[in-house]
Amino acid sequence: MRSITQTMIVQMKNSFARKMFQFTMLVQPIIYTCITYFLFKQTKETNFGAYVVLGSGLLSFWSCIVFSSAGDIDRERWMSTLPYLFASPTNFTKIVIAKILGNTCIGLFPFVISYIVATFIFQSPFTIAHPLLFLAIVPLVILAFVAVAFIFAAVFTISKKGGTLMNCLEYPIFILCGMAFPISVLPDWIQPISKLLLPTYAVDILRESVLSIPDMQQFIYKIMILVGLSLVYFIIGYILFIQMDKHVRKHASLEVF
């Protein structure tokens, strides 16, 4: 536990020192807040500030997650430190999880920036319909995103094209998962794909807890799906890390580009 905590602290310091991560965490939420505000201000939704804050916050949060699972692995490979992390006494899987958790913690900061910009600059109304339920759901949502990053980290460790995959995955995922707008506006043929993705349910229940819950039974059902899929994603990630471990020990290819 101590190794995970210390790795999280070091990861947060290193991430915040990087210019790209500073942009993702500090500047990007402002840009996304402005864009979502002008998208939703003409709608009939009285609490459209919730769409603005949640949408822009989730977009920046997802960027932090993607960069934590792809960028950090790629960076360790470029600095030739990835093999040392892999061979360290602390299990490599624990190190990766700690890195993801570290970036996830500071990745929550964009929500604060989005709230400040939307509320105090644009004067957008923002209220939480179910505050206690919202607070209870937030840890599940964070866990879901960590599970996704866990799978990505295993894939990116084996792949030598982490940067390319990172750039290709960022925008399609937040569109498919309805982070900025509901998936109901997407074409019918693509919505089944959205329902296979874990962030879709995380975003959906988070948005309903803030706006309104039309059907409590359906809401609980979505939570059960979220928890179940999170477990499945973690299992898949764990299996991928086992396979990655075997592959690396056989081919010694962690530093190969």
Give the CA-trace dihedral at 152, 158, 159, 165, to 10 degrees: 10
Q: What residue spans of 159-215 are helical by DSSP H?
A: 162-176, 191-194, 198-210
CB distance 133 to 209 below 8 Å: yes
* Residue in 198, 220, 197, 196 with CA at minimum distance from that of residue 208: 220
Give the helix/strand (H/E) hosting 228: helix 216-251
Q: Write down how long the chain is.
A: 257
pLDDT, one tens digit for every residue, the chain (257 residues):
777 788 778 878 877 777 877 887 888 888 888 888 887 777 766 666 677 888 888 888 888 777 666 677 777 777 777 777 777 787 888 888 888 888 888 888 888 888 888 888 888 777 788 888 888 898 998 888 888 888 888 777 776 666 666 677 777 887 888 887 778 888 888 888 888 888 888 888 988 888 888 888 889 999 999 999 999 999 998 898 888 878 777 776 666 54
Q: What share of the chain is helix, strand, coil (3-state, %, to 5)?
A: 80, 0, 20
Q: Is residue 256 included in any domain, yes or no?
A: no
Q: Check residue 254 and give its pLDDT.
A: 67
pTM of the model: 0.85
Q: Check residue 69 and give its pLDDT.
A: 63
Number of domains forming the structure of the chain: 1
Q: Check residue 253 and give its pLDDT.
A: 67
Q: Is residue 243 included in any domain, yes or no?
A: yes
Which residues span the domain enclosing 80?
2-251
Q: Check residue 6 and give its pLDDT.
A: 81
CB distance 56 to 32 below 8 Å: yes
Q: Which two tokens stand for residue 61?
A: 């949060």
Give the whole-angstrom CA distance, residue 77 versus residue 160: 9
Residue carrying structure tokens 């536990």 = 1
Q: Is residue 257 included in any domain, yes or no?
A: no
CB distance 106 to 12 below 8 Å: yes
Q: Check residue 230 and give its pLDDT.
A: 92
Q: Check residue 257 and give its pLDDT.
A: 47
* Residue in 85, 215, 197, 204 with CA at minimum distance from that of residue 152: 197
Question: Apex CA 45: angle with CA 179 and CA 37, to 5°?
Answer: 55
Give the whole-angstrom CA distance, residue 120 versus residue 132: 24
Q: Is residue 219 included in any domain, yes or no?
A: yes
Q: Is 216 exposed, middle or buried (0-12, 13-18, 19+ CB in 10 A)?
A: exposed
Give the whole-angstrom CA distance, residue 57 versus residue 115: 8
CB distance 57 to 114 below 8 Å: yes
Q: Is residue 137 included in any domain, yes or no?
A: yes
